[in-house]
Every structure is written in structure tokens, then in C-alpha cells.
Amino acid sequence: MIGRLKGTLISKQPPWLVIDVGGVGYELEAPMSTVFDLPETGREVTLFTHYAAKEDTVALYGFLREQERALFRALQKVSGIGAKTSLAVLSGASADEFARLVQTGDIAALTRIPGIGKKTAERIVVELRDRVDGIALALPSASGGAVPKDPIAEASVALQQLGYKPAEVARLVKETSEPGDTAESIIRKALKAALR
């Protein structure tokens, strides 16, 4: 089992990352909360990982903080929630915000996260209400970085990979993007807007 990786960040194409560790490139999927806080490519990073092996696939997920990984694992213990939905939750809300939604039983806000319907949101509230306190930790805001050539296109692709429909992505990006925004800031604002 792989629990942690320390190496050079080679590629950052949300939600995918490639980390070079001793000449081996590990491809990981990460929530936007991790992607926002990563340095530019070519820098050294350390990520907590979750290794998932199923009958026909093997996947590696990366997180900057232990709390993100703990929440990712706790979410998957809820019936009907898999890795993709867990990543969407972590991408759409900080651990503190998610804990608040669960503790207050805010089913409406939870259902705005891709992949979570009313019944799943109710199961999350019932099954995680007592566990989220120990996991919650405020996550720092995004760090600045170079503006990619087409941040709107990059943000749109990332949002679609998180499960949002193309029409919804177009609406969110149009409503939240401003000239000079990075892809990461557009994604962050779009995810916040989707939870409203």
C-alpha cells in the first residue's frame, strides 16, 4: 500500500497530477482543495495518498493534508458514495464547511454537490454527523500561480471531470470568471457558486 509520496510535481492538469519519485511517475487524482495549494510544476511536493484496488482498476488519490484523506476515506464508508463523489465533496467544500453542512443537516446544500442526491445526502448526515468533528480543519486559500494560456477552458474541463454537466459548467464559468483569473480561481468560485 502506498501511504505517502514525496517527489517532483511534473504535471498538474486538474484533477490529475503526476509526481516523479525516483524516476517513476505516479499519476494521482486529487481534489481541487489540493490542486489549489500545490506549487508550480518542477517543485518538490509531499502528498498523503489513498491506494484503491478493485477487480479491474487500480487508482491512487493524493491529498496535501491528512484531514482531506481522512474525510475522503470516511465519505466512502457511506453507502452509495465512491471515490468520484468523495473527490467532488472535497473539491466543493472545505472540511470545516462540509462538517457544518453535515451537523446542521443542510440536505439542500449537500445535494448541489455532483453525484449526491437527496437520499445520499440524508445518509451522509446520519452516518457522518458524529465523525466530521474530528476530521474538520480549515483549509488555507489557494496560492497564486502563473496564469495558463486558457484558464476558462482548463477550468471547464476540470469541472466536467468532477461530474458537472457541460451546460452547468458553461453557466458557472460565465457567472464567476473575471479577466485575469487563473483556472484554479475560476474553479474555486464556480464550486462555491454551485453550492449556493
Question: Could you give the CA distance from residue 20 to residue 17 in angstroms, rounded to a whole number?
Answer: 10
Question: Could you give the CA distance from residue 155 to residue 107 in angstroms, rounded to a whole number?
Answer: 27
The residues, any chain, with a CB within 8 Å of residue 128's CB and separated by 6 or more, are 74, 75, 78, 102
Tell me the CATH number at 182. Answer: 1.10.8.10
* Claim to verify: residue 52 and residue 15 sit in the same structural domain: yes
Look at residue 143 and tell me if it is in a domain: no
* Claim to verify: residue 71 and residue 127 sit in the same structural domain: yes
Domain limits at 108?
67-135
Which letter does DSSP use for residue 78 in this model? Answer: S
Residue 50, strand partner residues? 61
Look at residue 140 and tell me if it is in a domain: no
* Claim to verify: residue 83 and residue 42 sit in the same structural domain: no
Tell me the CATH number at 26. Answer: 2.40.50.140
Question: Could you give the CA distance from residue 14 to residue 124 in angstroms, rounded to a whole number?
Answer: 26
* Claim to verify: residue 59 and residue 107 sit in the same structural domain: no
* Claim to verify: residue 77 and residue 115 sit in the same structural domain: yes
In terms of Cα–Cα distance, which of 59, 152, 169, 67 is closest to 114?
Answer: 169
Tell me the CATH number at 125. Answer: 1.10.150.20
> Domain tally for the chain?
3
User: Whats the size of the chain, residue-wise?
Assistant: 196
- Write out the chain's pLDDT in tens, 196 residues: 788 999 999 999 988 999 999 999 999 999 988 988 899 999 999 999 999 988 888 999 999 988 888 889 989 888 888 888 899 888 877 777 788 888 888 888 888 887 788 998 899 988 887 777 556 533 333 333 333 357 887 888 788 778 787 778 888 888 888 888 888 888 888 888 887 7
Look at residue 145 and tell me if it is in a domain: no
Question: Could you give the CA distance from residue 91 to residue 32 in angstroms, rounded to a whole number?
Answer: 5
pTM of the entire predicted model = 0.67
